[in-house]
């Protein structure tokens, strides 16, 4: 029995106000269309729902049973509308982001702080992972957006926004004599090199770059985190290849300096990924606008 929602709405207001003309006023309808709606409802159930009296209308016993259910559904619908408004205004809800530890810590942290201050009611969930893991999280619906290094070629995903980062070689006080030099690749390779161990995008890029100039870059030390790349360079264990934006603090305070080379290093791009044909939540859209 598919009575449409509009008929129940008319029934609800007629019962609540005890008057067809009041119900018509609330719903911006004419009184005849209110009477017609109630007649349709009564015919579909084969029961009469109202008595007419001098003051207006009053529920029959059957009408009162129907009203007890319809009233609950109206309350739920009102709650649903309020909940939607809260989500739209970002008073509640959640934002689930996937990214690498280093991107969260060294790049996204200030944006996450700003977002949290602006929308304290929105819960933040950060899922750490490698690029393939983050792509899988998106497809499984476990995150709303992923922040990963480009390029990404996947027809199910789309890049909403991308920003540029610059990888570079950095060293600490122990190599201070290199500060004023511009090094050739050959000269650079005379020093111990520290690289990220995982077969990461950055690692592949630098290996390919050196190969294109006829050199092979063999790290003396391989580490599993950006924090160690930074720490080892500061302690003078070698020259680390890191993302410049991740060491801005150390470069500013002078505990690290950038080793200049006579060849340009390619910039790397980071993109914000979402599922291609899925609507982006209000919280996720607000975060993307912030990063822009």
pLDDT of residue 195: 94
DSSP code per residue over 83-124: HHHHHHTTSS-EEEEEE-HHHIIIIIHHHHHHHHHH-TTSEE
Which H or E run contains 40? helix 31-45
CB-based contact 272:145 (threshold 8 Å): yes
**199 pLDDT more than 80:** no
Nearest alpha-carbon partner for 50 in 78, 23, 77: 23
pLDDT at position 192 is: 95
Residue 53 tokens, joined: 């009296």
Q: Which residues are registered as beta bridge partners of 257? A: 171
CB contact at 8 A, 59 and 49: yes
Q: What is the pLDDT of residues 13-53, one digit of tens each?
A: 999 999 999 999 999 999 999 999 999 999 999 999 999 98
Percent of the chain with pLDDT over 70: 99
Assign 3 a pLDDT band (cuts: 50, 70, 90): low
Round to whole Å and give the CA distance between 20 and 29.
10
Q: Taking 60 as the threshold, does the pLDDT of residue 1 lie above it?
A: no
**pLDDT band at residue 55, thresholds of 50, 70 and 90?**
confident
Rounded distance, CA 115 to CA 122, Å? 9
Whether the Cβ atoms of residue 271 and residue 150 lie closer than 8 Å to each other: yes
Q: What is the pLDDT of residue 244?
A: 92
Residue 201: pLDDT above 80? no
Give the pLDDT mean for 207-220: 92
Q: Are strands 221-223 and 257-261 parallel, antiparallel or unpaired?
A: unpaired
Name the band, by pLDDT with cuts 50, 70 and 90, for residue 54: confident
3-state secondary structure of 49: coil
pLDDT at residue 160, rounded to an integer? 84
Q: Report pLDDT for 2.
A: 56
CA–CA separation, 290 and 167 (whole Å): 24
Contacts of 113 (CB under 8 A, 6+ apart): none
CA neighbor of 286 nearest in space, from 97, 133, 157, 139: 97
pLDDT-based confidence at residue 153 (cuts at 50, 70, 90): confident
- Cis (ω within 30 of 0) for the bond into 75? no
Q: Please state, in angstroms and rounded to a whole number, the distance separating the CA atoms of residues 210 and 219.
A: 12
The residue-averaged pLDDT of 119-130 equals: 91
The pLDDT score that the predictor gives to residue 126 is 93
Residue 43 dihedral angles phi and psi, to the nearest 5°: -65, -40
For the chain, the straight-line distance linking the first and the last C-alpha, in angstroms and rounded, comes to: 51
- What is d(CA 227, CA 100) in angstroms, rounded to the nearest whole number? 12
**Which two three-digit tokens encode residue 44?**
């579909």
Is 90 exceeded by the pLDDT of residue 4? no
Mean pLDDT computed over 169-191: 93
Region 103-119 average pLDDT:
89
Residues 6+ apart with CB under 8 A from 2: none
Structure confidence by residue, pLDDT tens digits, 254-270 = 999 999 999 999 888 88
Residues 185/213, Cβ–Cβ less than 8 Å:
yes
């Amino acid at each position: 029995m598919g009575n449409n929602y509009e008929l129940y709405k008319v029934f609800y207001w007629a019962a609540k106000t005890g008057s067809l003309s009041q119900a018509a006023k609330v719903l911006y309808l004419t009184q005849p269309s209110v009477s017609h709606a109630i007649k349709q409802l009564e015919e579909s159930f084969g029961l009469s729902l109202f008595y007419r009296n001098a003051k207006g209308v009053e529920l029959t016993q059957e009408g009162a049973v129907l009203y007890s259910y319809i009233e609950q559904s109206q309350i739920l619908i009102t709650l649903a509308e309020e909940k939607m408004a809260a989500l739209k205004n970002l008073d509640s809800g959640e934002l689930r982001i996937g990214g690498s530890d280093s991107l969260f810590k060294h790049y996204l942290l200030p944006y996450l702080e700003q977002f949290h201050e602006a929308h304290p009611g929105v819960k933040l969930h950060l899922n750490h992972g490698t690029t393939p893991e983050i792509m899988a999280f998106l497809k499984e619906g476990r995150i709303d957006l992923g922040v990963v290094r480009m390029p990404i070629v996947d027809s199910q995903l789309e890049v909403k926004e991308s920003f540029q980062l610059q990888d570079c070689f950095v060293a600490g006080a122990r190599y201070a004599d290199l500060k004023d030099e511009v090094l050739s690749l050959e000269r650079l390779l005379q020093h111990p090199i520290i690289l990220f161990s995982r077969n990461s995008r950055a690692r592949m890029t630098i290996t390919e770059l050196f190969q294109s100039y006829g050199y092979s870059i063999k790290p003396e030390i391989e580490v599993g985190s950006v924090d160690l790349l930074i720490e080892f360079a500061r302690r003078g264990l070698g020259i680390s290849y890191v993302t410049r934006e991740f060491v801005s603090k150390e470069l500013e305070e002078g505990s690290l300096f950038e080793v200049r080379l006579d060849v340009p290093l390619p910039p790397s791009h980071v993109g914000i990924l979402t599922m291609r044909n899925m609507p982006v939540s209000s919280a996720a859209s607000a975060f993307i606008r912030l990063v822009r």
